[in-house]
Structure 1
Amino acid sequence: MGRKKDIVRKYFEQVISNDKRQSCKFCHKEYNMNVNKMKAHLLKCSNCPQQIKKKFYSNTTSNVTEDQIQTVDEYDAHLVVNSHKSLTINKFFDHMNKSENVRLNEKLALAIIVSGSPLSMTEHPLWIDFFKQIRPTFKLPCRKSISTVYVDKVYAEMQSSITYDLLEANDLHIQLDGWTNINNDGIINFVICKPEPLFFKFLNTKDNRHTAEYLKNQIVEIIETYGKEKFFVIIGDNAANVKKSFELVKNVYKGIQTLGCAAHGLHLLCSDIFKVDSVSEFLKQNSSIVSSIKRSQLLSSVFKKHQQIKGINVQLKLPVKTRWGSFLFCLESLMKNKSVLQAMAVDDTIPISLLKPIKLTLLDDSKFWENVLKMINLLTPIVNAITVSVLNHNLIHRVRSLLNDVEKKVEECFSSSITNSLFSITEELKIINNVAKRKIFILGKIHLAAELLDPKSQGLKLNADERVDALEFIYNLGVEMKIDIMNDLSDHQSKQGYFAKKFIWENSLITDPVKWWKFLDNISPLSKVAVRILTAPCTSAATERTFSTFSWIHSKKRNRLTTERAGKLTYLSYNWKLKNKKSEISKNTEANNCEESSVDVVIQEIQSSSSSFNSEKNDENMIISKSDSDSDCDSDSETSILYNDTSSDENSVSCSEKEDEDNY
């Protein structure tokens, strides 16, 4: 009968050119007639099905039966028919090369940075297990790798992107402000508007004093980097050193315009009002009422019970010393809960000792509640103006009208006849004078020019003197930019020439002023001057928002972050969110998409847990403690975060992937 053929030969075929060599049916690799080598090959052949490999896990084939041989023959026939399908399935296994691992690590690092997650999260066993379940071959970076290698890499990439944007822009404006972080380090943040406010630079001043000369040198360095012909406006707060540094810069660059922050000026107006003796005492009284209820478990419970009875769902709010808008919110919360508070005052179930200090006040309709209403009427136009001015939109053309509205409503508030007035006549006159003083600090000729160039208002509400100042400013800027705009400016004012065309004005009421003028870029020489004016920022709110991000990242629970490292994290977080605003999708849209398809991808901007960081419309964003400032306020803001990182960037931490850290 002869010796039985080994079953391994079923998976090899004879090479035509050489009858002593066999070729693998799956990968066509050739071998001499050696069954042991052929078996070893099948075990490691990537194309060989697992069902066949299992037959050769044993070192011997002595126990192989005829039934098994029959099964193999049947499987071979099936394999020929379904060879493509089998090879495709069995070729699949998790594999990741080094470059792909590095790319994923960079994306993971950016997600951790932007979302404010702790850098050490990749060393937590649950996260390690989670990623292992998703991609077993994915090697997570350790905390030290993220805080050094990957932070530096994505930071350099972001810097390159922002530098490109600034080099491409024609009109640039600088915002700056000083701040003291949690470690008491002096920091100056610089924002460049193009007109979108990009966080350009953070400067740890160390032992350098924030003198006017020091600030001037830093500003000049930025201007020289991107070209003096591009820069137009520098804006900051009312600090003496900042104002002096602006004067020094203007001596170097005659075409630079220096502005005071509109929001800061309005905040200072609030400060002026709160310094009035009668207002100060009244606000203390309001704070005491809210504090008494909030700090007592019994009063708080009874308050909620009466709220449910009356169907009111507005919580009492305590004011924050340095956030002027919060005083208005405190007063409004009291007024909305007036019926609830008065019901509490006559509730027999509450011990007399708890309500005695505030009972008479709550029941005093003739004085207390009228004064609450009067303070609300006084503060509302100011807070509304702050809320509008701090937006990132181009609003310099609306500043004059906002200030005039504040001035008008403050005067109306004092002219209304209410008995038992909160203010004396002297105090009313003092507040009106303060409004005029802050208006002078904020308003300049550039604001008048912007309103004149606004296609919606067209400067119709400017008086004769204001119109002349606006025209003079526009003409001088044209001379500075070496653009002949005299004829074009005349046609614009008289609506002649190109400006007589109906189609040009058709969308002026609904189109952004900057876009409207850019539409005329190749038609009107005046458009370049108009765009430069209308893109100028009216506040340094964007700089304040960088400080909000800074305090959110470099918090009390992450105080071991170095200032340099925290600055880079802030730079990445702020600029990424700014650049990716267009990809933000509402939560409702995301929920709907998830219901329709489980594989839909919804890109949503990661939101901050800090309330001062979430909303551009909240005036509370604007109040940040400043070093070397003449501001009367001193911030003690505490922001909360979703994730906390207590790891130090300076200390070496053992890394299970030391090789990865060195290589990546």
Structure 2
Amino acid sequence: MAVVWEYLTVSEKDQRYAVCNTCSIEISRGGTARKSFNTTNLIGHLKSRYEAVYRDYLQADQKRKNEAAKKAQTTPGKTQTSIDTAFENAKQLPPDSAKAKQITNKVMEFISLDDQPFSVVEDVGFRSLMKCMEPCYTLPSRRHFVCLPEIHNIVATHIHELLACDITAISFTTDIWSSDVSPVSMLSLTAQWIDKDFNMVKAVLHSQEFPGTHSSSAISEAFDKMFQTWKIDKTRVHAVVRDHARNMTKAMMDSGLASFGCMAHTLQLAIHDGVFSQRSLTDVVAICRKIVGHFKHSPLAYSRLQAVQVQLGMKPKRLQQDISTRWNSTFFMMESLLEQKRALASYAADLPATLSAHQWQLIENFITLLSPFEQLTREVSSSEASAADVIPTVTALRRLLSKQADTDHGVKTTKTSLLEAVNKRFDQIEYDPMFCIATCLDPRYKDRYFDEDVKQRAREILDAHLLPAAGAEDGTRDGASTFHPERKRQRSDGAGPSLHHVFEEILEENGPERPSTSVSQQLDIFLAETPIPRGESALSYWRNNHLRFPELAQMARKYLCAPCTSTKSERLFSSVSHVLDEKRNRLCCDKAEMLIFVKKNMHLTPASSTRFYIYT
């Protein structure tokens, strides 16, 4: 506090004035706003009116300064800041300075990674935060925030360098998406490959605007341009995972690209053919939708249901509404209704429709029947799933649907129809070289999921692809004669067959056989060894065994890089919907694509610039 206030006092009537303790005169404090107040007028009043008082003031002020200087010299770690240094610290950072550019780039990364609008740089709270963290930094306005292209180019350059490395083959996923908030359609292209260290590398290459008609010729032309942009020769394209639309299928054929339909979509079609075509089940689904809709559209009804749940000692939980285009959402809807059966029974008088005891039993059997499909949909949609999972999954489903169980009552016809739909949708998949070779080269499966007649055909396909890659070499490498002991598997007892049991059953039935002499001993030894557990990583196996089986390892880099679903593209468009939302429905597609590109590929850049981020 200034020493002058020992001789004056702030006016109680108006804080803009100070009152002299000697003569009671009001003196202006130098302005009308608090930030403009000063003590110049107050000191001048003492100097002009009271010389003795002014001399006392000077002595007291000098004493205070001396004590402050002495304290600063004796306090360890603290030094008195000079006037020049204080002025230097108060200077604003030039916009073109290294520190200002670094902060601006980090703000741009924040906008990209967290799906924030550009207007966030003008929000009061954000500007206050930045002012507190770096007072010398001036945050640009949204119209002058132009560093996105620079960051995009840095990330794109690194992706180009990765694609130019020694890559055996590259697989892609693609999809077309239309926005709900703006008249925009976008075409995606994601890539993934296995590097020389047997790590899976994934990158988003495009989520570009796709105007006009979505004809096969337009899609094919767009693919040609995208491959040219990234300098990807079509001979390096292993497979493109797409949906089952005719225009997309024909576009891949016209472009000369190997492709196959998303397995999750194929399962969706099989379930609709085999399950939701049954009249008894469609009637039950219709009633379930009415019940859920009643609570979704009436807050009063939901509050009453919640009160019933509490009275019954149940945890309050909302019912789940289904989406007609996703079968598993219908599964979850019926599962949530079955879980709240007791609460719904107490509320039955106010429901627009009710379920009979037979229909409740039908729901329970329906959930039991489709639980393996829901489990497999989650597994094949995971980021680790590959084309090698397709044949074992289909084989396990066929075996499971062929078994009889006590829970089949009321759904036997549905179960038979579902088996027929699975056989129809996955017909002759065991003879497709892309899936056949991928399955054989996956150390979790090998050739154990093939029938005897198909197993020989699979070996012939492997021979045809292995011999050219191996240069017709028929010798063995050091360490190639090592065998792993047979592992015993424990099977848990259960009331009926489960998906896990079916996987284990097929592996046990198709154990190691006599060594083959039709191909190199590398292939003989690899297929004769016991498969690793399904929970382990196939890429980790090849990382540890590529010296034992060098030719097989290189082929595995090619065939295990293909995903079995187009989930990567679908999840990409979920991110796009967060960028092109109702608040940013006028954002141009080029800028939206750059934002998504930076967000999805930032983790591939050197760790020095991204070590503080976690990506999903």
Give TM-score scaled by structure 1 length: 0.67
Q: Are residue 333 (structure 1) and residue 336 (structure 2) matched?
A: yes
Instruction: Indicate if the aligned counterparts of 1:235 and 1:261 stay in contact, CA closer than 8 A.
Output: yes
Task: Name the counterpart of 2:491.
Answer: none
Structure 2 gaps, min length 5: 1-39, 194-199, 484-511
Give the Å deviation of 1:302: 2.9
Of 497, 500, 513, 2:538 maps to: 513
Task: Name the counterpart of 2:111.
Answer: 112
Deviation per residue, 1:297-325 (Å, 9 max, x gap): 44323321221233322431111122221
Task: Name the counterpart of 1:161.
Answer: 158
Which AA in structure 2 matches 1:318?
A: Q
Give the Å deviation of 1:435: 1.4
Instruction: Indicate if the aligned counterparts of 2:264 and 2:377 stay in contact, CA closer than 8 A.
Output: yes
Of 383, 386, 401, 1:392 maps to: 383
Instruction: Indicate if the aligned counterparts of 2:241 and 2:261 stay in contact, CA closer than 8 A.
Output: yes
Change in Cα spacing, 1:230 to 1:488, as seen in structure 2 (3 Å) is: farther
Instruction: For residue 322 of structure 1, give the secondary structure of its aligned residue in structure 2.
Output: coil
Q: In the aligned structure 2, how far is the partner of 1:604 from the partner of 1:76?
A: 45
Give the Å deviation of 1:243: 1.8
Q: Are residue 212 (structure 1) and residue 216 (structure 2) matched?
A: yes
Task: Name the counterpart of 1:358.
Answer: 353
Instruction: Indicate if the aligned counterparts of 1:448 and 1:466 stay in contact, CA closer than 8 A.
Output: no
Q: Are residue 439 (structure 1) and residue 426 (structure 2) matched?
A: yes
Give the Å deviation of 1:372: 0.5
Deviation per residue, 1:15-64 (Å, 9 max, x gap): xxxxxxxxxxxxxxxxxxxxxxxxxxxxxxxxxxxxxxx9xx99x9x988
Q: In the aligned structure 1, how far is the partner of 2:429 from the partner of 2:608?
A: 32
Q: Are residue 459 (structure 1) and residue 447 (structure 2) matched?
A: yes
Deviation per residue, 1:395-423 (Å, 9 max, x gap): 332222222233333444798552xx367
Give TM-score scaled by structure 2 length: 0.72
Give the Å deviation of 1:111: 0.4
* More deviation, 171-180/213-222: 213-222
Which AA in structure 2 matches 1:312?
A: M
Task: Name the counterpart of 2:263.
Answer: 262
Pairing of 1:25-424 with structure 2 (within 5 A)? 85-86=78-79, 91=85, 93=89, 96-97=93-94, 98-146=97-145, 149-170=146-167, 171-182=169-180, 183-194=182-193, 195-207=200-212, 209-223=213-227, 225-250=231-256, 257-272=258-273, 273-313=275-315, 314-345=317-348, 352=349, 354-355=350-351, 357-359=352-354, 361=355, 364-365=356-357, 367-412=358-403, 418=409, 421=410
Deviation per residue, 1:115-139 (Å, 9 max, x gap): 1122101112332233222222111
Instruction: Indicate if the aligned counterparts of 2:241 and 2:566 stay in contact, CA closer than 8 A.
Output: yes
Change in Cα spacing, 1:277 to 1:107, as seen in structure 2 (3 Å) is: same
Instruction: For residue 458 of structure 1, give the secondary structure of its aligned residue in structure 2.
Output: coil
* More deviation, 66-75/110-119: 66-75
| Coordinate RMSD, CA, aligned | 4.0
Change in Cα spacing, 1:291 to 1:412, as seen in structure 2 (3 Å) is: farther
Q: Are residue 575 (structure 1) and residue 574 (structure 2) matched?
A: no
Which AA in structure 2 matches 1:201?
A: H
Instruction: For residue 426 of structure 2, give the secondary structure of its aligned residue in structure 1.
Output: helix
Give the Å deviation of 1:532: 1.4
Q: In the aligned structure 2, how far is the partner of 1:276 from the partner of 1:532?
A: 42
Instruction: Indicate if the aligned counterparts of 2:466 and 2:551 stay in contact, CA closer than 8 A.
Output: no
Instruction: Indicate if the aligned counterparts of 1:173 and 1:234 stay in contact, CA closer than 8 A.
Output: yes
Instruction: Indicate if the aligned counterparts of 2:579 and 2:592 stay in contact, CA closer than 8 A.
Output: yes
Q: In the aligned structure 2, how far is the partner of 1:218 from the partner of 1:567?
A: 15
Task: Name the counterpart of 2:27.
Answer: none
Task: Name the counterpart of 1:562.
Answer: 588
Pairing of 1:414-563 with structure 2 (within 5 A)? 418=409, 421=410, 425=413, 429-440=416-427, 444-478=432-466, 481=469, 483-484=471-472, 494=515, 508-509=532-533, 511-523=536-548, 524-563=550-589
Instruction: Indicate if the aligned counterparts of 1:112 and 1:119 stay in contact, CA closer than 8 A.
Output: yes
Q: In the aligned structure 2, how far is the partner of 1:563 from the partner of 1:72?
A: 63
Which AA in structure 2 matches 1:532?
A: K
Instruction: For residue 374 of structure 2, give the secondary structure of its aligned residue in structure 1.
Output: helix
Instruction: For residue 312 of structure 1, give the secondary structure of its aligned residue in structure 2.
Output: coil
Change in Cα spacing, 1:468 to 1:73, as seen in structure 2 (3 Å) is: same
Change in Cα spacing, 1:403 to 1:569, as seen in structure 2 (3 Å) is: same
Q: In the aligned structure 2, how far is the partner of 1:435 from the partner of 1:500?
A: 32
Instruction: Indicate if the aligned counterparts of 2:172 and 2:562 stay in contact, CA closer than 8 A.
Output: no
Give the Å deviation of 1:340: 1.7
Identical-pair percentage: 19
Task: Name the counterpart of 2:506.
Answer: none
Task: Name the counterpart of 1:44.
Answer: none
Give the Å deviation of 1:285: 1.1
Which AA in structure 2 matches 1:113?
A: S
Which AA in structure 1 matches 2:263?
A: A
Give the Å deviation of 1:388: 0.6
Instruction: For residue 259 of structure 2, give the secondary structure of its aligned residue in structure 1.
Output: strand
Q: In the aligned structure 2, how far is the partner of 1:573 from the partner of 1:520?
A: 35
Instruction: Indicate if the aligned counterparts of 2:475 and 2:521 stay in contact, CA closer than 8 A.
Output: no
Which AA in structure 2 matches 1:267?
A: Q
Change in Cα spacing, 1:137 to 1:186, as seen in structure 2 (3 Å) is: same
Q: How many residues align?
A: 508
Q: In the aligned structure 2, how far is the partner of 1:67 from the partner of 1:431?
A: 97
Q: In the aligned structure 1, how far is the partner of 2:299 from the partner of 2:277?
A: 33
Which AA in structure 1 matches 2:614?
A: E
Give the Å deviation of 1:275: 3.6
